Structure 1
Amino acid sequence: MKKKIVFLPLDERPCNYEFPFKLFNNQEFEIKRPNKNLMGDKKIPANLNAIEDWIKKEVTDSYGLVISIDTLLYGGIVPSRLHNFSNDEILQKMQLLRELKELNPELKLFAFHLIMRCPTYSSDDEEPDYYEHYGKEIFELGRLDHRIQLGLESDLEHANKELTRLKNTIPKDALCDYTSRRVVNLEANKLSVDLLKEGIIDFLIVPQDDSSPHGFTAVDQEKIRRYIAEQQLQLKAFMYPGADEVSMTLMMRLVNEYHNNKPLIYVRYSSTKAPTIIPSYEDRILNESVKYQVLAAGGLIVDSMKDADLALMVNAPSYNMLGSNQFDERHDGYTVERNLVEFVETIDYMIHSLQKPVAIGDVAYGNGSDLELMQLLDQKNILMKVASYAGWNTSSNTLGTCIPQGMLYLLYEDTKTHYDFLAHRYIEDTGYCAHVRKDVCDNDLEELGFNYFYVKDQKGPVSEIVRKKLEDFIAKTLPSVANNIQITDCYMPWRRMFEVGIEVEYNSN
């Protein structure tokens, strides 16, 4: 009989709702998730009462529970930035976790609970309405105040004047709304740590979404880090950049624990300085995040390729990470100071000569694959021979996708699920994120009367154009696999251009 894992996603987007299900719902584990109609829709929160009833019903005979605390409390990642719940209301909602452990004392409860982000730019796409007009100023206020407190501003008089100007620029009710919500959310984070201390939660990840070294998020992060240390819970509560990938990481940790596995991972980079770069949207050097991603999924890093179960090949520049839409602007950190040819030859040697499973974390660019890497892998005809690949969104989103899939490959190897998900990554991360998204934005949206943040329908003229251009891109750019990959569905989940929803099948014949 299959072991059941109950899963409450961070939101209804494919990366949160579909990816973990597709990877882990297999011959050994049955993943139970809420019906899609119980989940939210971007700023509309999930049906919290119905989800609570659903969880209580499902966990009674479950091996494990992977749960987003943000969905449990607020109804999703975006509602966590918009809600008006009080501390008392949050405390009451958190009692459900105790009740779940009473219903099933043997339940392994793995949770993740985000620290509320603070974007650097002005946009209300995923934030309160006033963030459209004052988002950049709110971020700058938090960043500058933090730097002043740390003594990092050399011209203190000028910094204080700028701080006063920012406070006078942002409407008081907007700033009060923003900061008061941060206080409530931070107290909720502490409640998760308390439940970990109590043994209700068995393992906790506190990820940071779009974090920066200084500002509101960094201050909250330090407060939670100290709180975790005071409770002596550092071995059970991990903090690192990320968000949309964490469900996959926790599921992999759950599966590894079930099998009593501790996969040993050898890490190698495409450039000498790559381990020390600070990726876009993150707050620390790349290598420290890699360590946490491997550890959180249940593995350990080793120094010898010979001793490793899996090789993690990390593609990154030597400095100044660009966005995937800046591929044509790449600098010598991508060319002179990175040896991509040696990187690919090593992957080929590991696969064919050493018979070593290889996971590829493609974090050379933010928000999409490295097209040059894809071309070289295609020329080598090894796209479908790797244990995993990812190259989407942030560095941590990518690492938290390719590492779990790579570890799953160690257990199940060449399954249809493996090939379908691998093909999915190439179409979405390479085809859409690195090429088609920009192509459609530049050449199609305006004529249709749409823009980046609004395409009207999940399935409409934009999704049809995207699907056609994805098919054309794969045929032209990745010919070694083009005839084996079929896109069976294409839609725009939040009716904008940032993400795409696709269904993909890979046929080896």
Structure 2
Amino acid sequence: MHFKFYKAMLKILFAALCTFLMVPGVQAKEKYKGTFIYIPLDDRPVTYSYPVKNLQAAGYEILTPPEKYLASADRSGDPDKLWQWLVENAPDADAAVISSDALIYGGLVASRTHFFDETTLQARVQRLEMLRERLPMPLYVYSTLMRTPRASFGNVEPPYYSKIGPAIFRYSELLDKEDTTGLTLRESLAKQAIKNNLPQADLNDWLQRRLKNYHVNKSLTELTAKYRFHYLAIGKDDNAPLSATHMEARYIKRDAFALSDQIFQIIPGVDQLGMLLLTRAVNEKNREHPLVYTYYAEGTGRTTIPQYSDSTLGESVPEQILVADARPTVNAAEADFILAVNTPKDGVMMDSTAPSNQFFASPRDKKYIGELEKFLNSGTRVSLADVTYSNGADNGFMNEFAKRGNLEKLTAYNGWNTADNTIGFAIAQGILAPQISTEDNALLMRLRLVDDWFYQSNARRDATDFLERSGSSEEVYKLGASKKHVSALAQNVCDELARKYPFTENFKFKVGFPWDRLFEISVTPTDRKK
């Protein structure tokens, strides 16, 4: 306790001394803005380091647990160590943004693959109930509804899912449809046949895992109803309009119908929630509710149902804006920024490695770029969510957009993983941008361009092709002997593309594979002086 008192006093004295002396480099910084505790899902860059970098660039101190306590590629996190760290450090903060998956299961992957019994999980939920007494500060909690992927590889589900995942997914579709509109005779017979043909031990294991996850989320909503949390967000991990995840979300919403969306929401996507809730903490601390105007590309636009989602963008985008404690507006003139959403014209979303993702702009692309240029050239801030493809950028659109000199004018760019992940980050960055210096904001955008455009849509495709040609396609999910060659290939492709555009031509960086798989990378600047 004495240590924390002295730590707090030193922080105050240092701030006063800097103000009095007007130390060069310090006087340019704004006054102390606040400190937030942040416990992420795991140590992936998009859930851990990238949100932290954004908040730090905006002037906030972010306290995170030691990385060894977080889930990584080769280990689950340690819920007990994380809990101990949280209780010891949170009194120094203004608010806490907490992944309940990290504190209950040990991370996102662990939430699907763990072997904890119901008693252990509920005991960890009840620890969260005590936080309000121990930590008299706003507590922002985010959780995950277990996903229902059409297929899955790479040891991020129970082992049987790589073999029977598609059949389990189809079974869950029929369960959900039976619960809503009912099944035809053919569908009823198909459901029974799938159930009979699946290994019963594996099916029962999957259903029990789902039930445990459902009970955890139901308990969290009950704690929210008791005002144990300031706000709770539950993310629907990869799912579909008919799926077990969709069905469970429906029941949780029904049971929590009395909770206002100011304290509880269920939305599509998970990996963006840490960033959104940190932004919400900023907005609530500053008593601000930024206005966001959403502007879609021509075509299906707001009626698009993205891959890995059960909701149209017209439903989910306003929900994500509310998660950040911002407000949607239908008046572009009064908006704090434009959320530009580049959607597929026909509503069909494919992976960015699809052969159709070439460097040729369509007439529709050029039309949308012209419309965005009117905003950009008038000085309006624009945060671009590029969701024509999943897991990467639209090459044709972005190439034309960049060649016309628009990258420098953007407020933010995102085009990673699912559409909901991308849009969540685009909202958060659009909100935080006015608090970030021009130099730092440009760096944050270059990091995303290298990751989402140069790597995901281009280098990843080349790396996948190389692994398939060399008979090592399994290394897509776990890099082994080919890692050195793949790393060099990815770096070369990204370097070559960076040199093509003025905004990135002088940006020096190193590409890494923090989880030893092609799905995500880290991008580290190598020429930035601190």
Which TM-score tier does this pair reach, normalised by the shorter chain? Answer: over 0.9
Amino acid at match of 1:138: I
Unaligned runs of 5+ in 1: none
Q: CA deviation at 1:411?
A: 2.9
**CA 1:362–1:29 in 2, change beyond 3 Å: closer, same or farther?**
same
* Aligned residue runs from structure 1 range 330-409, under 5 A: 335=362, 339-352=364-377, 354-409=378-433
After TM superposition, the structure 1 = structure 2 runs for residues 419-498 of structure 1, keeping only pairs within 5 Å, are 419-444=442-467, 446-447=469-470, 449=472, 451-456=475-480, 460-476=484-500, 479-487=501-509, 489-498=510-519
- Code of the residue aligned with 1:198 in structure 2: it is K
**Residue deviations 1:91-144, cap 9 Å, x none?**
211233233322221x11101111000111253531001111111111111111
- Corresponding position of 1:63: 94
Asked if 1:504 is matched to 2:504, the reply is no
Aligned to 2:108: 77
What is the identity, as a one-letter code, of the residue corresponding to 1:321? M
Secondary structure class of the residue paired with 2:46 = helix
The answer on 1:108 being equivalent to 2:106 is: no
Distance 1:428 1:420, change over 3 A: same
Give the counterpart letter for 2:157 in structure 1: E
- SS of match in other structure, 1:114: strand
User: In the alignment, is the contact (CA less than 8 A) between 2:357 and 2:395 conserved in 1?
Assistant: no
CA root-mean-square deviation = 2.2
- Between the aligned partners of 2:426 and 2:283, the Cα distance in structure 1 is 16
What does residue 173 of structure 1 align with?
A: 201
- The Cα shift of 1:152 comes to 4.7
Written as runs of structure 1 = structure 2, the 5 A alignment for 1:187-206 is 187-206=215-234
Matched AA of 2:489: I
Letter in 1 for 2:180: L
Q: Does 2:160 correspond to 1:130?
A: yes
CA distance in 2, matches of 1:403, 1:42: 28
Verify the 8 A CA contact 2:71 2:78 in the aligned structure 1.
Answer: yes
- 454-463 or 391-400, which moves further after superposition? 454-463
Letter in 2 for 1:307: E
Structure 1: which amino acid aligns with 2:464? C
| SS at structure 2 position matched to 1:377 | helix
**How many Å separate the matches in 2 of 1:299 and 1:393?**
23
In 2, Cα distance between equivalents of 1:310 and 1:376: 22
Q: Given the alignment of the two structures, is residue 88 of structure 1 paired with residue 113 of structure 2, yes or no? A: no
Alignment of 1:279 with 2:306, yes or no, is yes
**3-state secondary structure, aligned to 1:204:** strand
Tell me the CA shift for residue 390 of structure 1: 0.2
Q: CA deviation at 1:349?
A: 2.1
Residue 212 of structure 1: which of 240, 261, 277 is its match?
A: 240
**Aligned partners of 1:316, 1:310: CA distance in 2, in Å?**
19
Partner residue of 2:21?
none
* Pairing 1:49–2:93 present: no
Aligned residue among 175, 180, 185 for 1:157? 185
Instruction: Return the letter of the residue paired with 1:178.
Output: W
Q: Deviation digits for residues 266-308 of structure 1, max 9, x if unmatched? A: 1111114211111111111112111111111121111222111
Q: What letter matches 1:497 in structure 2?
A: L
In structure 2, relative to structure 1, the CA distance for the partners of 1:386 and 1:507 (3 Å cut) is farther
In structure 1, how many angstroms separate the alpha carbons of the residues matched to 2:410 and 2:152? Answer: 40
Distance 1:483 1:122, change over 3 A: closer
Question: Distance between the aligned counterparts of 2:248 and 2:295, measured in 1?
Answer: 32
Q: TM-score scaled by structure 2?
A: 0.89
Match in the other structure for 2:316 = 289
Contact kept in structure 2, 1:59 and 1:103, CA below 8 Å: no
Pairwise CA distance, 1:43:
6.2
SS of equivalent residue, structure 1 residue 81? helix
Q: Which amino acid aligns with 2:332?
A: M
1:99 matches 2:130: yes
Match for residue 31 of structure 1?
62
**2:256 pairs with 195, 203, 228, which one?**
228
Contact kept? 1:123, 1:135, Cα under 8 Å: no
Deviation per CA, 1:40-92: give whole Å up to 9, x if none: 22463112221111111111121011111111100110000011222221221
Code of the residue aligned with 1:346 in structure 2: it is: E
Amino acid at match of 2:380: K
Name the CA distance, whole Å, in 2 between partners of 1:76 and 1:384: 37
Question: Letter of the aligned partner of 2:148 in structure 1?
Answer: C
Which 10-residue stretch deviates more, 120-129 or 308-317? Answer: 120-129
The alpha-carbon distance between structure 1 residues 31 and 112, as it changes in their structure 2 partners (threshold 3 A), is same
Q: 1:190 offset after TM fit, Å?
A: 1.0
Moved more, 63-72 or 30-39: 30-39
For the residue of structure 2 that corresponds to 1:485, the secondary structure is coil
SS of 2:459's equivalent in the other structure is helix
State the shift of 1:396 in Å.
Answer: 0.6
Instruction: Give the deviation of 1:235 after TM superposition.
Output: 3.2
Q: CA deviation at 1:259?
A: 1.1
Contact 1:458 1:494 in 2 (8 A): no
C-alpha displacement of 1:446: 4.5
Report the count of equivalent residues.
Answer: 495
Rounded to whole Å, the distance in 1 between the matches of 2:63 and 2:406 is: 34
- Per the alignment, do residues 124 and 36 of structure 1 end up closer, same or farther by CA in structure 2, a change over 3 Å counting? same
Whichever residue aligns with residue 455 of structure 1, its letter is L
Q: Report the equivalent of 1:259.
A: 286
SS of 1:325's equivalent? coil
Check the 8 A contact 2:357/2:396 in 1, yes or no: no
Residue type matched to 2:349 in 1?
M
Aligned counterparts of 1:303 and 1:42: Cα–Cα separation in 2: 43
Judged with a 3 Å threshold, the aligned counterparts in structure 2 of structure 1 residues 42 and 166 are, in CA distance, closer, same or farther, namely farther
Return 5+ residue gaps in structure 2 as ranges: 1-31
The percent of aligned pairs where both chains have the same amino acid is: 27
Contact kept, 8 Å, 1:427 with 1:474, in 2: the verdict is yes
Distance 1:393 1:65 in 2: 26
> Could you tell me how far 1:317 is from its partner in structure 2?
1.7
1:445, distance to aligned residue in structure 2 (A): 5.8
Label 1:208 to 1:367 Cα distance change in 2 as closer, same or farther (>3 A): same
Which residue of structure 2 lines up, in the alignment, with residue 4 of structure 1? 35
Does residue 147 (structure 1) correspond to residue 177 (structure 2)? The answer is yes
2: CA distance between counterparts of 1:467 and 1:251?
31
In structure 1, the residue corresponding to 2:333 is in which secondary structure? Answer: coil
Contact in 2 for aligned 1:195/1:201 (Cα 8 Å): yes
| Cα distance in 1 between the residues matched to 2:60 and 2:121 | 32
Judged with a 3 Å threshold, the aligned counterparts in structure 2 of structure 1 residues 237 and 25 are, in CA distance, closer, same or farther, namely same
The answer to whether the 8 Å contact 1:316/1:363 transfers is yes
- The AA in structure 2 aligned to 1:498 is F
